Amino acid sequence: MLTLQSPEVVQETALRWKRETKIAFVPTMGCLHEGHLRLIRRAKELAPKVIVSIFVNPLQFGKGEDFEKYPRTLELDSESLEGLDVDLLFLPTREDLFPQSFSTAIHVDGLTTALCGEFRPGHFDGVATVCLKLFQITQADFAIFGEKDFQQLRMIQRLTADMNLPLTIVSHATVREEDGLALSSRNRYLTPEERAHATRLPESLKQVRATFQSHPEFPVEDILAPAREKLEGVGFKLDYLTIASARDLIPASGSTLAHTISEPRVFFAGRLGATRLIDNWSLAEEMT
């Protein structure tokens, strides 16, 4: 595995590869878990060359968020990637990607307005900006994103279409623990007690899906209320628990009849202690 810090050298390498083959790319912030590794295995299926980046992107963290304490486990990450036969690990510094002279901002409107957009101002602009740079540097033909960050995935699809990027965005189902908790680098912030309570999150979202499917004639609020109560009961502070269409990510009002929503999904964000967790689930998919 090549390990490179310089955007210029990665781009030269990628341009050379691209003349003869395809490149699949997985952007990460490191602290790799099984969710990331699955994205990378998917990348290996899609293209002969696989590039992974590790960069904790300051632009996508707000004031008071966890940029400083975000877990950095480079040695372990590097070993995992070797094991997966990754071709190139891109490890830029902040100065490499965002030098003093950097002056460009990317904003994707619409899809980023609600849900986490409301609670993390500037977050999606930061993600869009770094992803557009990374796509140019890695010359990716495919980029793989997990559905756990569903709003991010949808925004990146929009950005790719809007900017005519010659790139296919591939989505990957959320990878979960045995109890259903979505894998996230932030799960390691949870105390053992919080981790035990966190199991209520996938349970609640499953319950939302069950009620949605058995009572599609219910208004949205009646479907969500028991789940909200359960989550607050174990100490979750909710940013939102809502049903929105996967198309526009605009939360339905509480009085909307559930069956009138196209491509319905339940979306959650909230804090357990100091840890912010997010999750989302298609309401149309079959019960498992």
Burial of 205 (0-12, 13-18, 19+ CB in 10 A): buried
Q: Contact region for its own copies (CB under 8 A) — 51-59, 62-70, 159-167, 251-259? A: 159-167
Is residue 162 near its own copies by the rule CB under 8 A?
Answer: yes
Of the residues 36, 107, 197, 259, which is catalytic? 36
Least CB distance to its own copies at residue 263 (A): 16
What distance in Å separates the CA atoms of residue 181 and residue 204, rounded to the nearest whole number?
11
Least CB distance to its own copies at residue 105 (A): 5
Among 2, 76, 161, 274, binds its own copies (CB under 8 A): 161
Contact mark string toward its own copies, 99..128, x via CB under 8 A: --xxxxxxxxxxx----------------x
Q: Which is nearer to its own copies, 164 or 255 (CB)?
A: 164
Query: Token pair for residue 51?
Result: 């590039």
CB 175 within 8 A of CB 38: yes
The sheet carrying 264-272 orders its strands as: 237-245, 264-272, 275-282
Among 133, 200, 265, 276, binds its own copies (CB under 8 A): 133
Is residue 64 near its own copies by the rule CB under 8 A?
Answer: no
What one-letter code names the amino acid at 107? Answer: H
Q: How many residues bind its own copies (CB under 8 A)?
A: 29
What distance in Å separates the CA atoms of residue 156 and residue 69, rounded to the nearest whole number?
26
What distance in Å separates the CA atoms of residue 72 and residue 31, rounded to the nearest whole number?
6
Query: Token pair for residue 242?
Result: 């809502």
Among 2, 76, 163, 274, binds its own copies (CB under 8 A): 163
CB 111 within 8 A of CB 118: no
**Cβ atoms within 10 Å of 193's Cβ, excluding its own:** 12
Q: Is 36 annotated in the active site?
A: yes
Least CB distance to its own copies at residue 140 (A): 12
Q: Please identify every residue annotated as catalytic.
A: 36
Name the site residues for its own copies (rule: CB under 8 A): 7, 11, 15, 19, 101-111, 128, 132-133, 136-137, 139, 158-159, 161-166
